[in-house]
Amino acid sequence: MIDKSDEVVSSAFKEVKDMYDKGFEKKCILQEAIKIFEERGKEYGNVKDGFEIIAEYWTAFMRNKLKVHRHNLMEITKINPEDVPIMMILLKLSRETINQSRSNREDVAGYIKCKDEFHK
């Protein structure tokens, strides 16, 4: 199962690279992502605090799913707030595969900015 998730993440990040290679406007998207990041901060507060809450919900949800549907699997490890932006990037990339949208790409850039907040 871990090998499969590594493949999914590698594939997702390859899709991001492919989007950049196709030449969409990196600078404008990054500028828009920073603007959105700042607006969301005013609306929802500190990104780390928000991701802490999201991580708690996701962990509880996934533990329940694994217990109900997969009795033979080990219990899921806790999802950390630092995992949230990566998981959101994967969500946005899945949407981008179905329907290419500048909004998806701006969101990916924004979640990269959010991830960076954990390394300051």
Break the chain into its structural domains and give their ranges. 15-117
Tokens in use for 109? 């850039």
Selection from 91, 79, 96, 89 nearest residue 113 by Cα: 89
Per the model's pLDDT, the better-predicted residue between 34 and 2 turns out to be: 34
pLDDT at 2: 44
Mean pLDDT score of the chain: 77
Q: How many Å apart are CA 67 and CA 38, to the nearest integer?
A: 38
Which residues, other chains included, contact 34 with Cβ-Cβ below 8 Å and sequence gap of 6+?
Answer: 110, 113
Please report, as a single letter, which amino acid is at residue 100.
Q
Q: How many Å apart are CA 39 and CA 4, to the nearest integer?
A: 36
Count of all residues that appear for the chain in the document: 120
Lowest mean pLDDT among 62-66, 86-90, 99-103: 62-66
Please determine, for residue 116, whether its predicted confidence score (pLDDT) is greater than 70: yes
Sign of CA dihedral 99, 24, 16, 120: negative
Q: Span 54-74, mean pLDDT?
A: 70
Q: What is the dihedral of CA 110, 114, 61, 7, to 10 degrees?
A: 70
